[in-house]
């Protein structure tokens, strides 16, 4: 089997990348198949009775005998002049002259999610930190945490431009967790007028801002008595305009309306105040839980270190014990040897003394016999 480059043409690819495999198999001609870039095409002639012959213009020539395979790789990088970019390639059967088509398809690349959407509107969505966004009065910020490992906890750190703004926090879990912060300016115990609200993430330490700008659709109450008077109680309440002073009846209605509004606001505050205290208490409990968790992890690490130290000490003690036992055994053997040698020395002295006594007796007997015999 041989392969060689030949000249030819291609056409524009129309295949869909979503369901395209990385490898395609050809068992007969003609065919129309799709394969992904950097994939491969396999000419499978394992069940064939004659040689499978084909040529791809501008590509390769192949001849596959019966009961054989031919695999063509389709690189798109570091391939010199023979690269196989996404396109449609004609393949001609040299036996019949029929043409087949191989679609090489580029992988689908999803469009990246923007870091921020809706900036400057009532509802802003952010997908990464740090961020600096702008919302209208009464708006909302939604944080999407795409971090696969860490949660993030955005805590309000300060405000510039107003002294009456409330605080906020945004806690979002890992891998798609979300956190929503609302910034009301009407019917609220914690209101958020225009200003720049700063925040800091307690996990990563990064910082950012949320800027609140005036909302032209928000109507605030303005009550005054002057030559040209405009009174706006609420969005749905009528405006009272006059080019002169307000009448006694009108003033009475205004006073009653303000009184009712004050009473309603006090009732709302009375309902919300315990909830705010409960929220603060829950936040404290959450902080305590986090601190307890950190303490437990620290204690766990300390215990692990102590266990490692005890194991090392135990190993050292065991080694010293074995060494001392070996030394004691050697000392016992030496003592036994010395004791044995001491016994042998005593016996030897006894034998020497006995030998000396016997020698003296023998000499005395020889002297007596010599005298008797008259040898001396």
* Mean pLDDT in order along the chain per 10 residues (376 residues): 35 60 92 92 91 81 90 86 86 90 88 86 94 95 92 95 91 93 92 95 94 78 40 44 57 74 78 79 82 81 83 78 80 77 67 75 78 71
Cα-Cα-Cα-Cα dihedral sign, residues 284, 286, 289, 291: negative
Q: In this structure, what is the dihedral angle of CA atoms 264, 270, 272, 274, given to the nearest 10 degrees?
A: -170
> In degrees, to the nearest 5, what angle opens at C-alpha 48 toward C-alphas 44 and 50?
115
Alpha-carbon torsion, ordered 361, 367, 369, 373, to 10 deg: 180
> 132-136 and 207-213: which strand pairing?
parallel
Position 95 scores a pLDDT of 86
Give the pLDDT score at 235.
44
Bridge partners of 41, per DSSP, are 24, 72
Question: Which two structure tokens, joined as six digits, stand for 182?
Answer: 């609302």
pTM of the model: 0.37
Distance, CA of 1 to CA of 33 (rounded, Å):
23
- Other C-beta atoms within 10 Å of 143: how many? 24
Question: Among residues 56, 208, 249, 190, which one has the least CA distance to residue 119?
Answer: 208
**Of residues 98, 107, 81, 91, the one with CA closest to residue 15:** 107
Residue 67 CB contacts under 8 Å (≥ 6 apart), including other chains: 45, 46, 48
Q: Which pLDDT score is estimated for 3?
A: 33
What pLDDT score does 119 carry?
A: 93
């Amino acid at each position: 089997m041989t392969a060689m480059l030949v000249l030819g043409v291609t056409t524009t690819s129309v295949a869909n990348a979503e369901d395209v495999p990385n490898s395609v198999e050809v068992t007969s001609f003609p065919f129309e198949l799709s394969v992904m870039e950097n994939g491969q095409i396999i000419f499978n002639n394992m069940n064939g009775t004659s040689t499978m012959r084909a040529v791809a213009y501008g590509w390769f020539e192949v001849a596959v005998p019966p009961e054989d395979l031919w695999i063509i790789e389709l690189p798109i990088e570091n391939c010199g002049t023979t690269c196989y970019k996404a396109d449609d390639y004609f393949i001609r059967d040299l036996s019949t002259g029929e043409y087949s088509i191989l679609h090489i398809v580029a992988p689908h690349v999803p469009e990246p999610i923007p870091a921020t959407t809706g900036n400057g509107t009532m509802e802003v969505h952010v997908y990464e930190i740090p961020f600096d966004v702008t919302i209208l009065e009464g708006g909302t910020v939604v944080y999407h945490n795409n971090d696969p490992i860490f949660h993030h906890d955005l805590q309000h750190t300060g405000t510039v431009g107003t002294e009456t703004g409330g605080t906020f926090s945004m806690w979002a879990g890992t891998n798609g967790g979300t956190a929503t912060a609302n910034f009301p300016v009407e019917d609220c115990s914690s209101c958020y007028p225009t200003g720049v609200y700063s925040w800091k993430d307690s996990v990563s330490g990064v910082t950012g801002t949320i800027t609140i700008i005036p909302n032209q659709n928000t109507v605030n109450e303005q009550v005054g008595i002057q030559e040209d008077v405009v009174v706006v109680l609420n969005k749905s309440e009528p405006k009272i305009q006059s080019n002169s002073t307000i009448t006694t009846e009108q003033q009475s209605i205004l006073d009653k309306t303000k009184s009712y509004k004050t009473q309603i606001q006090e009732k709302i505050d009375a309902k919300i105040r315990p909830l705010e205290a409960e929220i603060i208490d829950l936040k404290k409990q959450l902080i305590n839980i986090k601190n307890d968790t950190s303490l437990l992890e620290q204690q766990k690490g300390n215990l692990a270190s102590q266990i490692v130290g005890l194991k090392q000490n135990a190993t050292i003690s065991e080694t010293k014990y074995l060494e001392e036992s070996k030394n004691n055994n050697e000392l016992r053997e030496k003592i036994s040897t010395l004791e044995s040698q001491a016994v042998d020395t005593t016996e030897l002295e006894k034998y020497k003394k006995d030998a000396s006594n016997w020698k003296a007796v023998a000499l005395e007997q020889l002297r007596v016999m010599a005298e008797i015999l008259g040898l001396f």
